[in-house]
Amino acid sequence: MSAQANLLQLPSPLERRIDAAEAARRAENFLTRNLGDLLTAGKPRRVVFPLRSVWIVPVEPTYPGYGSIGVIGDVIVDEGTGEIVAWTPPDEMRESTEQLYREHEAEIVAALKRIQNAV
């Protein structure tokens, strides 16, 4: 049996203190404080390193009536401490959001008009 196969069978290096839902909540709070309220946390993925484990939470711009337009970055939450330990630089996330918005602009505007007409 290879050393790599043994490594994959090891238990998590840290006791789980937060779950995926809590990681998403913490990422959402971080995004709201630092980048605004049109960004939302996607479905977290757990990654285990030899000394720690983290939740990688994708960041998605969302628009009313349309929803998510894609993933523009990540927020990394330490599973053991619950702290935000890394993130995609805000400027990169803003640039990616602008690019995705341009690609989906017609659909987003149409969705917003449908909401306005329903009111």
Q: Please answer whether residues 41 and 57 qualify as being in contact, where contact means their C-beta atoms are separated by less than 8 angstroms.
A: yes
Tokens found for residue 20: 């995926």
Please, what is the average pLDDT of the chain? Answer: 87
pLDDT (0 to 100) of residue 115: 87
Token code pair at residue 96: 């990616």
Q: What digits encode the pLDDT tens for the residues 58-95?
A: 999 999 889 999 999 999 999 989 999 999 999 999 99
Provide the domain count of the chain: 1
Structural contact between residues 13 and 49, judged by C-beta atoms closer than 8 angstroms: yes
Please tell me the pTM assigned to this model: 0.81
Query: How many Cβ atoms from other residues are within 10 Å of residue 19's Cβ?
Result: 13
Q: Number of helices (H) and strands (E) in the chain: give both, helices first.
A: 3, 6
Would you give the distance in Å from CA 55 to the centre of its chain?
9
pLDDT per position as a tens digit, 18-30: 999 999 999 999 9
pLDDT of residue 1: 47
- Binning pLDDT at 50, 70 and 90, where does residue 16 land? low
- Dihedral sign computed on CA atoms, order 7, 11, 14, 19: positive
CB 65 within 8 A of CB 114: yes
Return the H-helix or E-strand segment holding 73: strand 73-78
Give the residue numbers spanning the domain of 62. 3-118
